[in-house]
């Protein structure tokens, strides 16, 4: 498919970043766009493993803290959890519109990565951190600080959004591989065995090496 056809389907605005990076060489720009697709695909295993493990780890800790599996119900009427309560309401509303039961597992699955990462914000230092730090049982003590965990999760959240909103990944700062490694590090903080398991499914390092070699 030639460049004009790509622009017709993907828009000149979207492809312009690639063309500019290659000094107007549309052949190289088209190859970069293809590489970006492959890199986006290769990011999915790490993001999948991290989000699900984080969600389930938080769920286990907060279920114990509040003594109930639907622990978010304990936040109703608490202004300190106003944004989180709105997210829960939105999740329930989506399930209702789809005529699905509002079970604990269904609500958990509908809550976004942004919801989970928000629980490590500074406002929850005295409310949740003591329990949520246990999600990262294998994190070195010097690193297991709320602000460090929050910073890592927020960076991964931004990267996740770029991947799933089909944004360019080739020219990030820090580089994509470095950001990917942050995600792998957090997974190993949860459980090194999970990190080892991911290695067998993770194609991002190889895909990045291929693109850097071609670039």
Give the tens place of pLDDT for each residue, 3-36. 999 999 999 999 999 999 999 999 999 999 999 9
Model pLDDT, residue 2: 87
pLDDT at 94 over 80: yes
Q: Which of the four pLDDT bands, split at 50, 70 and 90, describes residue 215?
A: low
Separation between Cα atoms, residue 200 and residue 154, nearest integer Å = 26
Question: In whole numbers, what is the pLDDT of the chain averaged over residues?
Answer: 95
CA 51 to chain centre: 6
Instruction: Give one DSSP letter per residue of 134-194, joined into a string.
Output: GGGTTS-TTT--HHHHHHHHHHHHHHHHHHHTT---TT-SS-HHHHHHHHHHHHHHH-HHH
Model pLDDT, residue 22: 93
Structure tokens at 5: 């056809």
Model pLDDT, residue 113: 97
Bond into 14 cis (ω within 30): no
What's the whole-number mean pLDDT along residues 37-57? 97
Residue-wise pLDDT for 178-206, tens only, equals: 999 999 999 999 999 999 999 999 999 99
Separation between Cα atoms, residue 29 and residue 79, nearest integer Å = 49
Query: What is the domain partition of the chain in residue ranges?
Result: 3-214
What's the whole-number mean pLDDT along residues 86-98? 97
pLDDT at 68 over 80: yes
Q: Which of the four pLDDT bands, split at 50, 70 and 90, describes residue 213?
A: confident
Model pLDDT, residue 149: 96
Separation between Cα atoms, residue 115 and residue 23, nearest integer Å = 40
Structure tokens at 98: 């789809």
pLDDT at 214 over 70: no
Task: Give the CA count within 13 Å in the CB-facing half-sphere of 163.
Answer: 21
| Cβ atoms of residues 105 and 91 within 8 Å | no
Residue-wise pLDDT for 102-143, tens only, equals: 999 999 999 999 999 999 999 999 999 999 999 999 999 888
CA-closest candidate to residue 21, choices 176, 197, 172, 210: 172
Number of continuous H segments (helices) and E segments (strands) in the chain: 11, 0
> Is the backbone of residue 67 left (phi > 0), alpha (psi -120 to 50) or beta?
left
Model pLDDT, residue 84: 98
Structure tokens at 93: 């509303």
Dihedral (CA of 31, 32, 36, 42) sign: positive
CA-closest candidate to residue 21, choices 32, 11, 13, 10: 32
Nearby residues of 49 by Cβ (< 8 Å), 6 or more positions away: 187, 194, 197, 198, 201
């Amino acid at each position: 498919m030639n460049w004009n056809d790509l622009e017709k389907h993907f828009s000149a605005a979207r492809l312009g970043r690639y063309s500019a990076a290659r000094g107007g060489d549309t052949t190289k720009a088209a190859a970069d766009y293809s590489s970006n697709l492959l890199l986006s695909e290769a990011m999915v295993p790490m993001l999948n493993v991290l989000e699900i493990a984080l969600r389930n780890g938080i769920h286990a800790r907060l279920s114990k803290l509040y003594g109930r599996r639907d622990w978010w119900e304990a936040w109703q009427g608490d202004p300190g959890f106003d944004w989180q309560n709105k997210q829960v309401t939105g999740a329930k509303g989506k399930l209702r519109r789809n005529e699905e039961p509002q079970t604990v597992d269904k609500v958990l699955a509908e809550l976004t990565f942004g919801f989970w990462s928000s629980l490590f914000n500074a406002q929850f230092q005295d409310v949740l951190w003591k329990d949520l730090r246990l999600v990262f049982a294998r994190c070195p003590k010097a690193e297991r600080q709320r602000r460090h965990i929050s910073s890592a999760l927020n960076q991964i959240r931004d990267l996740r959004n770029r991947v799933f909103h089909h944004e360019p990944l080739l020219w990030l700062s820090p580089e994509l591989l470095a950001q990917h490694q942050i995600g792998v590090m957090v997974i190993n903080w949860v459980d090194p065995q999970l990190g080892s398991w991911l290695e067998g499914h993770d194609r991002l390092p190889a895909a990045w090496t291929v693109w850097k070699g071609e670039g």
